[in-house]
Amino acid sequence: MEKKSQNEKFQKALSKCVKCGACQAVCPVYDIEKKENSVARGKLALLQAYMKGEIELTSKLYETISKCILCTSCKDTCAASIEIDRIISTAREKAVKEFGMPPLKKALLEILCGTFPGRKTFLKSASLVEKMFMKKIPSESGLFYKGYFLGRKEGKIFPALSKKTLTEIIDLEKVSDSLSSVLFFQGCTINFISPQTGISALNLIRKSNFTPILLNKQQCCGLPAFFSGDREKAEKLAYSNLEMLSEKKFDYLVVACATCGSAFKEIYPLIFEDDSNRLQKWEEIKGKILDLSEFLSGPGNRIFSKIKKTEKETTKTATYHDPCHLYKGQKIEKEPREIIKNIPRINLVEMENSSDCCGFGGMFSIENFELSREINKKKIENILSSKAELVLTGCPGCILQIKSGLIAKSSNIEVKHWCELLDEATNGKSTID
């Protein structure tokens, strides 16, 4: 009975498409492949045919639905307000139930989501494997490796895993009652690959006169599992995070990762929608969730009085990349730009199409390696044309993808989370020198 109503809901969602084709103009996958199957309209038509029993759920159909980066560009332009992210995730869930997940993807997801027993030990070993078997890229980043797999001539660029995770570097579980508190949810990429971003975010929270809290028990936000069709894993992670957050007192929950923010604001309400008890608990937490840029532009805006003046005149030109999960998902675009404009000696220039997807999409970039790289090339062209010396953004995943695209072009343009620069500016230091 429940399955029947879920299928009816799914079919109803699919039938909303009026076939206007507006999604074609904004789809990064269509832009590269120029095939009807690449765009939302084509995918919806195939899924409709499958639901009517006109076609089988074959591995070809599975491949078609895997070729969506879930950037949601088409959701914003769709006159019928089709929730493509929800539809594709549901379709992937059906495909995973039918075929199971490809073993490599399953293993990667287990590691990414932290449901793999002994993930920390595994990642430490992976760090050693990188050093032993991959080629270090002699770029200014100094933090990337190139691996050659499955006969690919160009190789894939991998970020170096951090020697210590953020929670190993900083212990902030104990909270003082004297100040309002901010629970910082670091997410997996910041914890395992770029802890410096987390350190800067925590510094900024403290310098805004709030007490930062960092919990050791944090799990992956679950978005990679949800978008891969592994609903069961996404639910487990969401339940565990809800339980952990419900036990803690805090005034704000701040994220510096666009993906985690999007999971909390958009996906958790979907996961809890048929569970009124959990949904109610989540609604109470949801009102406190802010992206770091929202927090510093609002309750934490005392940070701007801490920016140190400088006599130095050298400036650096920076451009800002809008992460899909921030710009399209959370509608945040002004706040990070205003913050960047306040950083001394940074001259912000806009690149063309700053909100175009960088091609990352988490598991998408692994499953659709060539396609992800082609989408990324367009972003890199826009960055290079802007003549910026520095790329700033608000998503650690986009940072990895853009860095790897720039390295492939032998460019030494730096890519950073803007919070690292603001942290330096409030310390009176600057990487511009």
**In the numeric block, which tokens belong to residue 114?**
């932290």
Contact call for residues 426 and 204 (beta carbons, < 8 A): yes
Cβ atoms < 10 Å from Cβ of 399: 25
Is 15 or 317 the residue whose CB approaches ligand SF4 more closely? 15
**Residues present in the chain in total:** 433
Convert residues 334-353 into a mask of x (bound to ligand SF4 by CB under 6 A) and - (unbound): --------------------
Is 39 or 422 the residue whose CB approaches ligand SF4 more closely? 39
* Alpha carbon distance 413, 431 (integer Å): 13
Q: Which stretch binds ligand SF4 (CB under 6 A): 24-32, 125-133, 142-150, 307-315?
A: 24-32
Q: What are phi and psi of 307, to 5 degrees?
A: -70, 125
Among 13, 14, 32, 40, interactor with ligand SF4 by CB under 6 A: 40
Is 81 or 305 the residue whose CB approaches ligand SF4 more closely? 81
Among 29, 183, 238, 267, interactor with ligand SF4 by CB under 6 A: 29
Contact call for residues 27 and 38 (beta carbons, < 8 A): yes
Is 27 or 101 the residue whose CB approaches ligand SF4 more closely? 27
Question: What residues pair up with 144 in beta bridges, in sequence order?
Answer: 159
Percent helix, strand, coil in the chain (nearest 5)?
Answer: 55, 10, 35
Among 13, 14, 23, 65, interactor with ligand SF4 by CB under 6 A: 23
* Alpha carbon distance 159, 61 (integer Å): 32
Task: For residue 189, give the nearest of 399, 429, 412 by alpha carbon.
Answer: 399
Is 322 or 420 the residue whose CB approaches ligand SF4 more closely? 322
Least Cβ distance, residue 382 to ligand SF4 (angstroms) = 18
Question: What residues pair up with 329 in beta bridges, in sequence order?
Answer: none
Under the criterion CB under 6 A, does residue 28 sit at the interface with ligand SF4? Answer: yes
Site for ligand SF4 in 55-114 (CB under 6 A): 68-74, 77-80, 82, 84
Is 324 or 339 the residue whose CB approaches ligand SF4 more closely? 324
User: Where do contacts with ligand SF4 occur on this chain (CB under 6 A)?
Assistant: 17-23, 26-29, 39-41, 44, 68-74, 77-80, 82, 84
